[in-house]
Amino acid sequence: MDPDQLPALETDRLRLRAPTAEDVDFIANLYARPEVARFIGDGRTERTREQALARIERYRSFAGATTGVWLASCAVDGEPRGIMLLKPIPVSADVDPEPQPEIEIGWHLHPDAQGRGYAAEAAEALVEHARTVGLETLVAVAHPENRASHRVAERIGMAHRGTTDRYYGTTVELFTLEL
């Protein structure tokens, strides 16, 4: 799918759309924050404009019928607040993947925007979108210490399934939602 055709989503306080290269300053700032990078991927911050542009391209490439990565901005002032994701979740090296890729829901909020319930609010819009496009199940995974992320998953009605080594080659807390 052309990333610019990714359906726009909205909530009471947020507007969600595909990120573009024009969002590079925000994306660079977001992933340069240790408190954001800590529980994402290898935990290392990204500090260069090139890394941010590469991330935007990667995120745009997820645009699809049942997947996508959205930039969430404030409905009032248009300021970017974070990134929301629906994407195939990578399984660990020794795991047989399902015939249909499992779709992960994820949330990366800027520290200035955290603590105000934005992640759960935006996640509800992604869940609704996932239902609309016919997905049957969503998974979310989080570092065992990432309590805020666990709470977001619980707030949107996901069931906590305990810890698993099935994804990302590491041990994570697993949450699932039947749509």
Residues that bind ligand COA (CB under 6 A): 36, 39-40, 107-109, 114-120, 142, 146-149, 151-152, 155
We find the least distance from the C-beta atom of residue 155 to ligand COA, in angstroms, to be 5
- C-alpha–C-alpha distance, residues 60 and 112, integer Å: 24
Q: Which is nearer to ligand COA, 1 or 120 (CB)?
A: 120
Q: Which is nearer to ligand COA, 39 or 176 (CB)?
A: 39
Q: Which is nearer to ligand COA, 135 or 173 (CB)?
A: 173
**Exposure string for 12-22, b = 16+ CB within 10 A, e = fewer:** ebbbbbbbeee
Report the 10 Å Cβ neighbour count for 70: 27
Q: Which is nearer to ligand COA, 1 or 13 (CB)?
A: 13
Spatial CA neighbour of 71 closest among 29, 28, 14: 14
We find the least distance from the C-beta atom of residue 14 to ligand COA, in angstroms, to be 11
Give 111-164 as a DSSP string.
Answer: GGGTTSSHHHHHHHHHHHHHHHTT--EEEEEE-TT-HHHHHHHHHTTPEEEEEE
Longest dimension (CA), the chain: 47
Query: Phi/psi of residue 37, each to 5°?
Result: -70, -25
We find the least distance from the C-beta atom of residue 139 to ligand COA, in angstroms, to be 11
Q: Which is nearer to ligand COA, 11 or 149 (CB)?
A: 149
We find the least distance from the C-beta atom of residue 36 to ligand COA, in angstroms, to be 4
We find the least distance from the C-beta atom of residue 118 to ligand COA, in angstroms, to be 4
